[in-house]
Structure 1
Amino acid sequence: MLYGVSYYWEYQPFDRLDDDVAMMQQAGINYARIGDAIWSLCEPAEGDFRIDWLQRVLDRLHAADIKIILTTPSYAIPPWLHRRHPEVMAIRADGSPTPYGGRQNVDITNPTYRHFAERIIRLLWERYADHPGVIGFQVDNETGTVGAQNPAVIDAFTEHVKRRYGTVDRVNQLWGLTYWSHRLGDWADLWPPAGNTSPGYDLEWRRFQAQLTTDFLRWQADIVREYAGPDQFVIHDVVGFHGRSEADRYAIGDAMDVVAENFPHATQDGLAHPPVDGLAMYPANTTGPGAVQLYQRSDMAYGVKRKNFFITEMNPISIANSDNVFPCYDGQWRMAAFSTISRGADMVAYWHWHSLHYGHEIYSHGILNHDLERNRNYDEVAGIGRDLQRHGDTLTGLTPDSEVAFLYSYDSRWAMANQPPLKTPDGRRPDAGSYARIFDAFYRGFFDARAQAVVLRAGADLGDHPVVVAPGLYVADDQTLAGLADYAEQGGHLVLTFRTGYADEYARARWLRAPGRLREAAGIGYNLYSDLAKPLPVTGSGGLSIPAGAQATGWMDELVVEDEATEVLASYDHPHFGRFPAVTSHRFGSGRVSYVGTLPDAGFACSIADWVLRTSGVTPLGAGLPESVRFTRSTTRDGRRLAFLSNWSFDNHRLPDDLVAGTDLLADADVGPGRPVELGPWDIRIIAEADARD
Structure 2
Amino acid sequence: MTLSNELPIRRWLRRAGSARLEFGADYNPDQWPREVWDDDVRAMREAGVTIVSLAIFSWARLEPRAGEFDFTWLDEVMDLLHAGGISVDLATATASPPPWLTREHPEILPVTRTGETLWPGARQHWRPTSPVFREHALRLVRELATRYGDHPALVAWHVNNELGCHNVYDYSDDAAAAFRIWLRHRYGTVEALNHAWGTAFWSQRYDDFEEILPPRLAASHPNPTQQLDFKRFSSDALKDHLRAERDLLRELTPEVPVTTNFMVMGQQKPMNYADWAGEVDFVSNDHYVLPGPQARDELSFSANLTGNIAGGRPWFLMEHSTSAVNWQPVNVAKKPGELARDSLTHVAHGADAVCFFQWRQSKAGAEKYHSAMLPHAGTDSDLFRAVARLGERLHELAPVAGSHRRRADVGIIHDWESWWVAEHDSHPTDRLNYPQEALDWYTALLDAGIRADVLPADGPLQEYRLLIAPILHVVPAALADRLRDFVAGGGHLVTTYFSGIVDENDHIWLGGYPGALRDLLGIRIEEFGPLLDDESVELDNGTTGSLWTDRIDVGDDVEVLAHYKTGEQAERAAVTRREVGSGSAAYVSTRLGPDGLAALLPELLGPAGVTGELPPEWGGRVELAIRGDHWFLINRTDEAVDVSALPGAGILEPRGVVVLHRG
Using structure 1 for the length normalisation, give the TM-score.
0.88
Q: For 1:332-380, what per-residue CA distance to the aligned partner results, in whole angstroms no more than 9, with x for missing partners?
A: 1111122221111111111111111111111112122224333222112
For residues 197-216 of structure 1, what are the structure 2 equivalents within 5 Å?
Answer: 197-216=222-241
Q: Secondary structure at the match of 2:94?
A: coil
Q: Give the match for residue 158 of structure 2.
A: 138
Q: Give the match for residue 561 of structure 1.
A: 554
- Kindly state the Cα deviation for residue 159 of structure 1 after the two structures are TM-superposed: 2.2
- The unaligned stretches of length 5 or more in structure 1 are 266-282, 424-429, 541-545, 662-670
Contact 2:411–2:467, Cα closer than 8 Å, also in 1: yes
Q: Secondary structure at the match of 1:598?
A: coil
- Kindly state the Cα deviation for residue 322 of structure 1 after the two structures are TM-superposed: 8.0
Question: 1:366/1:422 Cα in 2 relative to 1: closer, same or farther (>3 Å)?
Answer: farther
Does 2:298 match 1:305? Answer: no
Contact 1:632–1:643, Cα closer than 8 Å, also in 2: yes
Q: Give the match for residue 536 of structure 1.
A: 536
- Kindly state the Cα deviation for residue 422 of structure 1 after the two structures are TM-superposed: 6.8
Q: Give the match for residue 257 of structure 2.
A: 233
Q: Give the match for residue 279 of structure 2.
A: 255
**Alpha-carbon distance between aligned partners in 2 of 1:405 and 1:331, rounded to the nearest angstrom:** 29
**Alpha-carbon distance between aligned partners in 1 of 2:286 and 2:170, rounded to the nearest angstrom:** 23
Identity %: 25
**Among residues 143, 147, 150, which one is paired with 2:169 in the alignment?**
147
Question: 1:642/1:322 Cα in 2 relative to 1: closer, same or farther (>3 Å)?
Answer: closer
Q: Secondary structure at the match of 2:559?
A: strand
Q: Give the match for residue 414 of structure 2.
A: 408
Q: Give the match for residue 279 of structure 1.
A: none
**Alpha-carbon distance between aligned partners in 1 of 2:310 and 2:400, rounded to the nearest angstrom:** 21
Question: 1:561/1:599 Cα in 2 relative to 1: closer, same or farther (>3 Å)?
Answer: same
Select between 315-324 and 517-526 the one with higher mean Cα deviation. Answer: 315-324
- Kindly state the Cα deviation for residue 420 of structure 1 after the two structures are TM-superposed: 6.7
Structure 1 letter corresponding to 2:550: D
Q: Give the match for residue 516 of structure 2.
A: 517
Q: Give the match for residue 51 of structure 2.
A: 31
Contact 1:158–1:187, Cα closer than 8 Å, also in 2: yes
**Alpha-carbon distance between aligned partners in 2 of 1:462 and 1:614, rounded to the nearest angstrom:** 19
Structure 2 letter corresponding to 1:120: L
Contact 1:401–1:632, Cα closer than 8 Å, also in 2: no
Does 2:512 match 1:507? Answer: no
Contact 2:490–2:584, Cα closer than 8 Å, also in 1: yes
Contact 2:623–2:636, Cα closer than 8 Å, also in 1: no
- Kindly state the Cα deviation for residue 242 of structure 1 after the two structures are TM-superposed: 4.6
Question: 1:137/1:366 Cα in 2 relative to 1: closer, same or farther (>3 Å)?
Answer: same
Contact 2:225–2:506, Cα closer than 8 Å, also in 1: yes
**Alpha-carbon distance between aligned partners in 1 of 2:249 and 2:375, rounded to the nearest angstrom:** 34
Q: Give the match for residue 264 of structure 1.
A: 288
**Alpha-carbon distance between aligned partners in 1 of 2:614 and 2:515, rounded to the nearest angstrom:** 38
Q: Secondary structure at the match of 1:367?
A: coil
- Kindly state the Cα deviation for residue 329 of structure 1 after the two structures are TM-superposed: 1.4
**Alpha-carbon distance between aligned partners in 2 of 1:320 and 1:567, rounded to the nearest angstrom:** 51
**Alpha-carbon distance between aligned partners in 1 of 2:424 and 2:660, rounded to the nearest angstrom:** 47
Does 2:632 match 1:644? Answer: yes
Q: Secondary structure at the match of 2:90?
A: strand
Q: Secondary structure at the match of 2:574?
A: strand
Select between 366-375 and 474-483 the one with higher mean Cα deviation. Answer: 366-375
Does 2:539 match 1:526? Answer: no
Matched positions, count: 636
- Kindly state the Cα deviation for residue 623 of structure 1 after the two structures are TM-superposed: 4.5
Structure 2 letter corresponding to 1:81: L
Q: How much is the aligned-residue C-alpha RMSD, in angstroms?
A: 2.0
Q: Give the match for residue 69 of structure 2.
A: 49
Q: Secondary structure at the match of 1:682?
A: coil
Question: 1:101/1:654 Cα in 2 relative to 1: closer, same or farther (>3 Å)?
Answer: same
**Alpha-carbon distance between aligned partners in 2 of 1:628 and 1:382, rounded to the nearest angstrom:** 30
**Alpha-carbon distance between aligned partners in 1 of 2:202 and 2:426, rounded to the nearest angstrom:** 21
Q: For 1:379-408, what per-residue CA distance to the aligned partner results, in whole angstroms no more than 9, with x for missing partners?
A: 122112112222213344232342212222
- Kindly state the Cα deviation for residue 156 of structure 1 after the two structures are TM-superposed: 1.8
**Alpha-carbon distance between aligned partners in 2 of 1:437 and 1:601, rounded to the nearest angstrom:** 9
**Alpha-carbon distance between aligned partners in 1 of 2:384 and 2:254, rounded to the nearest angstrom:** 34
Ranges of 4+ aligned residues in structure 1 off by more than 6 Å: none
**Among residues 160, 168, 178, which one is paired with 2:182 in the alignment?**
160
Question: 1:172/1:41 Cα in 2 relative to 1: closer, same or farther (>3 Å)?
Answer: same
For residues 669-688 of structure 1, what are the structure 2 equivalents within 5 Å?
Answer: 671=648, 677-688=650-661
- Kindly state the Cα deviation for residue 56 of structure 1 after the two structures are TM-superposed: 1.5
**Alpha-carbon distance between aligned partners in 2 of 1:46 and 1:404, rounded to the nearest angstrom:** 54
**Alpha-carbon distance between aligned partners in 2 of 1:379 and 1:370, rounded to the nearest angstrom:** 14
- Kindly state the Cα deviation for residue 123 of structure 1 after the two structures are TM-superposed: 1.0
Q: Secondary structure at the match of 1:574?
A: coil
**Alpha-carbon distance between aligned partners in 1 of 2:55 and 2:75, rounded to the nearest angstrom:** 12
- Kindly state the Cα deviation for residue 575 of structure 1 after the two structures are TM-superposed: 5.1
**Alpha-carbon distance between aligned partners in 1 of 2:458 and 2:264, rounded to the nearest angstrom:** 21
**Among residues 6, 12, 19, which one is paired with 2:39 in the alignment?**
19
**Alpha-carbon distance between aligned partners in 1 of 2:131 and 2:618, rounded to the nearest angstrom:** 58
